[in-house]
């Protein structure tokens, strides 16, 4: 069965694109970004926003009731940046064809 995705509404196309990023649970072998990484990244972003509002506050990031080291957060942020860079370059290559 062949499906022409270009005839789908834009919102449906965007939803499918976003769902390709969130491709796996924390212990699976899926190819997308693990949900646990997304959760930790969102908690990190929230922490940074709070720190901008309250510069002298001290807050730790916890995942599953365990504190997460700042090195782990840095590696997650680096991973997401590289993942998005590869995605953007891939899109550019595909649209050049």
> pLDDT for 21-48, tens place per residue?
776 666 777 767 888 888 999 999 999 9
Mean pLDDT of the 6-35 span: 78
Cα-to-chain-centroid distance, residue 4: 27
pLDDT of 43-79, one tens digit each?
A: 999 999 999 999 998 899 999 999 999 999 999 999 9
State residue 34's pLDDT score.
Answer: 83
Nearest alpha carbon to residue 69 among 44, 33, 34, 39: 44
| Token couple for 61 | 């990031």
State residue 67's pLDDT score.
Answer: 95
Q: 65 vs 5, which has greater pLDDT?
A: 65
Q: How many CA atoms lie within 13 A of 2 on its CB side?
A: 2
State residue 18's pLDDT score.
Answer: 76
State residue 19's pLDDT score.
Answer: 78
């Amino acid at each position: 069965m062949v499906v022409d995705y270009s005839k789908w509404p834009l919102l449906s196309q965007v939803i499918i694109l976003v769902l390709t990023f969130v491709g796996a649970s924390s212990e699976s072998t899926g190819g997308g970004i693990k949900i646990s990484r997304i959760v930790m990244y969102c908690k990190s972003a929230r922490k940074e926003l709070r720190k901008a509002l309250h510069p002298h506050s001290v807050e730790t990031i916890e995942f599953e009731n365990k504190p997460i080291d700042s090195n782990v957060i840095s590696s997650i942020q680096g991973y997401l940046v590289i993942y998005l860079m590869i995605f953007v370059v891939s899109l550019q290559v595909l649209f050049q064809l």
